Amino acid sequence: MRKKILLIEDSPIQLKSIELTLSKLEHEIFTATNAIEGIELVYQTVPDLIISDIIMPEINGYQLCRLLKNDDVIKKIPIILLTQLNEKLDSFWALKAGADCFITKSNNQEEFLSQVTNFLRGAETISEEERQQIIKDKKSENKDLQTRINNLLDQSLIESTIINEFRNLSEFIYSTRILSKELFSLAYSLVDFNVACIFFNERDDKKKKFLQLSIQNASVEESVLMDIKKDFFNEIFPDTYKKEESSYDIEIVDALINVHNKAENISEFHSRLVIPIAYANKVIGGIAFYHLKSERLNNNKIFEIIVKELKILMRIKWLYSETKYLAIIDGLTGLYNRRFFQQTLEREFARSKRHKTCLSLAMFDIDHFKKVNDVYGHQFGDKVLAEISKIIKSSLRKTDYIARYGGEEIILILPETTTAQANIPIERIREKIESREFMNGNEAVKITISCGIAEVESDVNTQEELLARTDKALYESKRAGRNKTTIYS
């Protein structure tokens, strides 16, 4: 099928030479000697492919590319940029400007034609009907060329300004609240909304997930905000939200109340947009907008820029949270480390005493672990420790804390749990490990664990006393023959 190719080249000799070369492909060729003339021909012919030189007066190839790629209709047309040079910087800017391909000018005509042919073959075909409709639509806009160029330049300037504003927010990644407030301020200058939501996911899945909210020019009932939370997280985490609803909450970052603009039901928001943001198959956050009036969230170009830049910010924030998380995690087992355990125990013990709630500690020790290492090697010993850690993690609640206490010892903090209640999952874990076969190559190795449990009672005045009782109960399990659970009494 015969295609339309637009060739833009300011050198008359080069223009004629490339045109003659392209004529061998028997496609229809239009030519322009500068970018402005080229833009005019783009709107008059809507070609299947644009081939442009980079170095041209007034508007160069990079700028031409950026201008055309900012037009929502014309941006579909592929652009090849040509240069005499083969510098990496040329290639970098060509691709950043939105070029679909970067080709170095060559005396080898066959190579050039092969590249153009391959590119045309893979490019999206514009039907004649579609082409004529675009030309008709552009004519009906009744804009002269300079106005079109000015509009494209304005769009490009707006986009680069928004991008710069987003990039400046990276300094606030250490504070979710401040970052959210700055983001809402920027978003409100670009988008008209009554409620905006933003969520930054954390690497530590034990942390409560907070939806940051901004209310603008409206009065929204608390029950409606809770429905927005449900609506948002159901879309972001459709498989897990209902099971873990108590782990999610809201935080109002800023609010400009208008009592004459009330929302008493979520159904009163006639414009709604919820956008999950993912990276490497992991949800790293999301953003949402709600407006009481209809058709207020239709500016796709603005949302495209917001989401693109927000994804970069959220990736930076995720990496920051991951760094913090790795500082409290044991590398071998994936459990919390001893330092984090001590900080958590201090907090949970104080809370238990203050609110008079139950708190239990449980300590596991792998039986004859030194012998396992001596007979089968430390590599197998590490494997056993990692597998047992997985079994324990999968058997407990999300509200429980599991840490590697030292060597082969694993310790659990069980908030709002008595020793009688704790004994049920602890025994289940012990029995699961006892019945499991740990494979060392083709050899099945049996492993058992001992456990001690203690709880905060009226005569336990410090966390050290609670820890000592747990340790004593563990010692009793070992003294009684191992592979047992003992409750301190």
What is d(CA 56, CA 65) in angstroms, rounded to the nearest whole number? Answer: 12
Tell whether the torsion through CA atoms of 130, 136, 142 and 146 is positive or negative.
Answer: positive
Assigned token pair, 175: 């504070």
Q: Which two tokens stand for residue 255?
A: 């609010």
* Whether residue 235 lies in the annotated active site: no
Nearest to 209 by CA among 181, 242, 250, 237: 250
Q: Are 27 and 33 in contact (CB under 8 A)?
A: no
| Tokens linked to 232 | 């948002």
Tell me the C-alpha distance between 338 and 218, whole Å.
48
Give the CA distances from residue 92 to residues 81, 97, 201, 449, in Å, rounded to whole numbers and listed in that order: 12, 9, 33, 59
For residues 71 and 45, the answer to whether their CB atoms sit within 8 Å is: no
Contact 400, 413 (CB under 8 A): yes
Write down the residue that tokens 């490019």 correspond to: 123
Among 182, 309, 348, 408, the one annotated catalytic: 408
User: Is there a contact between 194 and 269 (Cβ–Cβ < 8 Å)?
Assistant: yes
Distance between CA atoms of residues 212 and 42, nearest Å: 45
- What DSSP character marks residue 155? H
Buried b (16+ CB within 10 A) or exposed e, 436-468: bebebeeeeeebebbbbbbbbeeebeebeebbe
Q: Is 71 helix (H, G, I), strand (E, B) or coil?
A: coil
User: Catalytic amino acids?
Assistant: 408
